[in-house]
Structure 1
C-alpha cells in the first residue's frame, strides 16, 4: 500500500458540534485530543504501519472560524497536531501539510492574500490587486501563517510547514494523462456565488462565472464578510450560533436571515449614519434590498440544504458540479497544463454527505471520478443515513479511493469502516482495504467511540431545542 496524500475535510475544529472538538463539561475546550480523535489516530497508526508517511491535505472548514472564536479554534487545532504529530511516538503524516481554504475558513486565504500584497510592497513593487487564486497544480507556495504560528508552539515540529492553496489544488501526471483536483465545495453551492448571481440578474446574463479568477473576485469578499469569521463577531456571532440550526425548520431559516439583516442595517445607521429607509429606486429602500439579499442567500439556501438531507445529490447539484468542472476548472487546467487530462478525479467536501461516483462531464474524455469527504459535524438532531464522513486517499500514480469512516446510524448500529472506489478497479483501493482489514480491531474501537459520541451529541441537541422551546413559551405567557 502506498498513499501519497491523505485528505480530510470539514473537521470544524473548535465547533461544539464537531465530533473531533474536545469539549469539557462546562462547554469549554478541554485539554488534549478528544476520544474520537484519539481513536482515529490509533486506527490510522495501525493501518499505515510500515508504509511511508503520506501528506496531510486539509480540504477546507478544518477550522470553524465562521462560527467559533479564534481562541477555541486554535486550541482545537493544536489537539489535532498533538494527535497526528506527537512529541513522543511515531508521527502519522509527513510534516508538509497542504491547506485548501473553504467557506468557514476563507479568512485564512484572505490573510495569505494580504501578506503576499504587503510582501510585494516591501520589495518595492505595487501589485494591481490582491492575488485572487493560486495555481491548481503543483505544490503551494503561500504560508498558512495562523497554522504555522500554532505549530511553532510545538518545538519538535520546527521544520513543519503548512502551505495554503485556493480555491483548487491538485496533482497531474502528463505521461499517464491522469489528474486529481480538490476543492472544498462551497462554489458548487449557489449561496456562495451570491454576488455572481446578482451580477447576472442585473445584466440579464450568465450568472455562473467562466473562470476561477472571476468566480473568486466576485464572491470572495462576500464569503469573507459574512461567512468566514462570524465566530469573532461578538454578540452577533453568539446570536447566530450555528448555521446548522437554520436548517432545522423554515422558521429558523427565516429568523436567521432576519437576524443578519437587522444587524447589517442597524450597523449602517449606528456607525455610518446611513438611513436604512433611504429610497434607492422604484420605491425600494436600502433596508428592503438588504433583507431580500440576505433571505435569498442565507434563508433560501438553508431551505435547499434542508430538503437535501434525504439524498446525496439533487439534479441541480449535479448540474453545478458539471458546470464547475467543465467550465472554470477546465479553463484553469488548460491554462496550466496546455490540455485537459484524459482521466480526472475530483474531490470535494462541504455537504457533509460522503459518496463516490462517476459523472459524465462535458469536455472530458472519460467519466470523472467524483468523491465527497462528508464531514465531522452533526447537522440534524435526528440522524440521517446520508450524513457521515470519509477520508480520501491519493496514490503516487493519482488513483483515488474513499476510506468510508462512518455514516450516521439510523438503526442503532454503525457500518464498519471500509474502502470504496468510484467504480474503477484500482490497486490503491484493493491494497488499502487489506490494510484496513488488518487493523479491524482498531477501526471497530473507532466506530464504537464515534457511535457513542453521535448519540450523546444528538441527545444534547434535542435537549437544547426543548429548553429553547419551553423558554419561548414561558416568555410568551408572561
Structure 2
C-alpha cells in the first residue's frame, strides 16, 4: 500500500496569525519558510521517504485572500514552495497540485471560472454561462493561474501545474466501491448559506438546497461579498478583522451582523437608488427584512460557532453534515457514477478542529468515515484542546488516515504527532504509524517548534485584547 495523496487545509498563508507564515519582527513577510513550516516539511519528508511522490491537495483557505493582501499571500506561498520543493533538496510532492477553493480563497474559483470562459471563447465557442461547479471525480480542467504564475518564480519548477476544483473533488474505485470526497467545509456552515436561508425566510422552499449547483449559485455571490478578498479592500478589509475574534463575545457578533446589514442597505441605496426605509407589507420595511435575515444567518451562526469552541461538532453541525453528504453531495455523485460507493470517506476543514469519526447517513450502506483537517491558525487566545491541525493521508486503495500534527497545548504540554483512523480496520493507519515512528525525532522537533510558536502567538493576542480593553475603558470614561 502506498500514500498517493496528502491533504492540507486552512494554511491561511499570508495571515499574520498563521503558524506557517514567516514574518519579520517588523511585520513584513520574510523570505524562506518559517521555522514551523520547515519542521513540518522535514517530518513529512522523512515519513514519506520510501514512497513515490504523492499528490498534494490543498483543501481551501490555503491562501488567506479573505483578510490578507495578494502580495503577502503570494510571498507566503513562495515560502511553501521553498519548503516542499527545495531547489537543492528532495521534493515532497508531485508537481501537479489539486486546489479546492474555500471561503477565504473563493476568489480563486471566480478567477478560474473567468479564465475557463475566456478559453472557450478563444477556441471559437460561446458557452451559455460560467461553470457553477466542477465534477467531483477525474482531473480538474480548470487551472489556478495565480499559483502557476508563482511557480514560475522558481525556475527549477518549470512545468508544475495547479488544477482547481470547486466545491468538491474526489477519487473513486468502481471495483472496490470505495470513494473519497473532499470539500473545504464552508457549505456545512450556515453562515455561508445565508442567501439560501434568506430565500427560505421569504417563504420560497427549503433553506438547504438539493444540488451543488443551486448551493453555489445562490451563495457564491454572498461569499464574494462577505469574505472572499477583503485583504485587498483597504480600510474596509483592515476594519473587518478576523471573524474568529468577532465570535469571542455576543456583543461583537451582534455588531458584526449589524455591520453586514448596513453594508447591504447602504449599497442598495447608493448603487441602485433603493430606499431601505420603503415599506413592503404590514409596516415591515426593506431595512427590517434585511436585518432580520442577516441576524438569522450570520449572527446566529456566529453564536453557534462561538459556543462550539469547547467541542468538535454540535447537534446543528452534525445535522448540516448529514444533509450535505446525503443530499447535494449524493445527488452529484449519482450524476457522475452510476452506483453509489459502498464505502465513502469525507474530508473537510474550515472548523480548525481536527477529528475523525464515522457518521450514519441516509443513502449510504455503511457509516461514512468523516475526517477534519483542523487548521494552522489560532482562533482565540484561550487555548482549547479541540483546536489543532492534521494532514490527511489517502492510499492507493482509497483508505484515509489522519496524521494528527498537534492540538493546542493544555497544562503546558502538546500531544505528540500520531496517526489515527475513523474506527475501521485500516492497513494505512498501521503502515503510516510505523513510518511516523521511524521519523519520531523529526516529529518531536516539529512539536517543540509548534508549541513555542503557539505560546508566543497566544501571548501576543492576550496583550492585544488587554490593550483594546484599556482603550475602550478610557473612551468610556471620557
Calculate the TM-score normalised by the size of structure 2. 0.97
Shift of 1:429: 0.8
What aligned pairs does 1:119-130 form with structure 2 within 5 A after superposition?
Answer: 119-130=119-130
Query: Which position in structure 2 is the counterpart of 1:50?
Result: 50
Find the residue that maps to 1:4 and give its secondary structure. Answer: strand
Instruction: Work out whether residues 7 and 58 of structure 2, in 8 Å CA contact, stay in contact via their aligned partners in 1.
Output: yes
Find the residue that maps to 1:209 and give its secondary structure. Answer: coil
Query: Which position in structure 2 is the counterpart of 1:409?
Result: 409
Query: Which position in structure 2 is the counterpart of 1:329?
Result: 329
Gap runs ≥5 in structure 2? none
Query: Which position in structure 2 is the counterpart of 1:208?
Result: 208
The question of 1:247 aligning with 2:247 is answered yes
Aligned mates of 2:27, 2:7 — CA distance in 1: 29
Query: Which position in structure 1 is the counterpart of 2:384?
Result: 384
Shift of 1:348: 0.5
Shift of 1:222: 1.1
Aligned mates of 1:205, 1:274 — CA distance in 2: 26
Identify which range, 356-365 or 296-305, moves more after superposition: 296-305
What aligned pairs does 1:109-188 form with structure 2 within 5 A after superposition?
Answer: 109-188=109-188
Query: Which position in structure 2 is the counterpart of 1:65?
Result: 65
Shift of 1:328: 1.1
Instruction: Work out whether residues 392 and 400 of structure 2, in 8 Å CA contact, stay in contact via their aligned partners in 1.
Output: yes
Query: Which position in structure 2 is the counterpart of 1:228?
Result: 228
Aligned mates of 2:2, 2:352 — CA distance in 1: 27
Query: Which position in structure 1 is the counterpart of 2:471?
Result: 471
Aligned mates of 2:433, 2:7 — CA distance in 1: 17
Instruction: Work out whether residues 4 and 396 of structure 1, in 8 Å CA contact, stay in contact via their aligned partners in 2.
Output: yes
Distance verdict in 2 for CA 1:26–1:286, change over 3 Å: farther
Aligned mates of 1:264, 1:368 — CA distance in 2: 39
Query: Which position in structure 1 is the counterpart of 2:418?
Result: 418
Query: Which position in structure 1 is the counterpart of 2:452?
Result: 452
Shift of 1:400: 0.4
Find the residue that maps to 1:413 and give its secondary structure. Answer: coil
What is the root-mean-square deviation in Å for CA atoms of aligned residues?
1.4
Query: Which position in structure 1 is the counterpart of 2:259?
Result: 259
Find the residue that maps to 1:383 and give its secondary structure. Answer: coil
Shift of 1:252: 1.2
Query: Which position in structure 2 is the counterpart of 1:86?
Result: 86
Shift of 1:273: 4.5
Query: Which position in structure 2 is the counterpart of 1:75?
Result: 75
Query: Which position in structure 1 is the counterpart of 2:349?
Result: 349
Shift of 1:150: 1.1
Query: Which position in structure 2 is the counterpart of 1:108?
Result: 108
Aligned mates of 1:265, 1:199 — CA distance in 2: 17
Query: Which position in structure 1 is the counterpart of 2:278?
Result: 278
Once the two structures are superposed, residues 74-104 of structure 1 have per-residue CA deviations (whole angstroms, 9 ceiling, x without a partner) of: 1111111111011111101110100000111
Distance verdict in 2 for CA 1:201–1:276, change over 3 Å: closer
Gap runs ≥5 in structure 1? none
Shift of 1:315: 1.5
Aligned mates of 1:209, 1:251 — CA distance in 2: 31
Find the residue that maps to 1:203 and give its secondary structure. Answer: coil
Aligned mates of 1:64, 1:281 — CA distance in 2: 42
Calculate the TM-score normalised by the size of structure 1. 0.97
Shift of 1:220: 1.1
Once the two structures are superposed, residues 251-276 of structure 1 have per-residue CA deviations (whole angstroms, 9 ceiling, x without a partner) of: 11112222333344444444555443
Aligned mates of 1:248, 1:332 — CA distance in 2: 37
Aligned mates of 1:206, 1:290 — CA distance in 2: 19
Aligned mates of 1:201, 1:277 — CA distance in 2: 19
Once the two structures are superposed, residues 63-83 of structure 1 have per-residue CA deviations (whole angstroms, 9 ceiling, x without a partner) of: 111111111111111111111
Instruction: Work out whether residues 240 and 259 of structure 1, in 8 Å CA contact, stay in contact via their aligned partners in 2.
Output: no
Once the two structures are superposed, residues 132-175 of structure 1 have per-residue CA deviations (whole angstroms, 9 ceiling, x without a partner) of: 11110111111011111111111111110000001110000001
Identify which range, 22-31 or 422-431, moves more after superposition: 22-31
What aligned pairs does 1:15-30 form with structure 2 within 5 A after superposition?
Answer: 15-30=15-30
Aligned mates of 2:243, 2:188 — CA distance in 1: 18
Aligned mates of 1:476, 1:106 — CA distance in 2: 39
Shift of 1:180: 0.4
Instruction: Work out whether residues 171 and 180 of structure 1, in 8 Å CA contact, stay in contact via their aligned partners in 2.
Output: yes
Aligned mates of 1:382, 1:177 — CA distance in 2: 43
Aligned mates of 1:71, 1:286 — CA distance in 2: 39
Aligned mates of 2:269, 2:298 — CA distance in 1: 22
Aligned mates of 1:305, 1:443 — CA distance in 2: 31
Instruction: Work out whether residues 385 and 409 of structure 1, in 8 Å CA contact, stay in contact via their aligned partners in 2.
Output: yes
Aligned mates of 1:72, 1:291 — CA distance in 2: 34
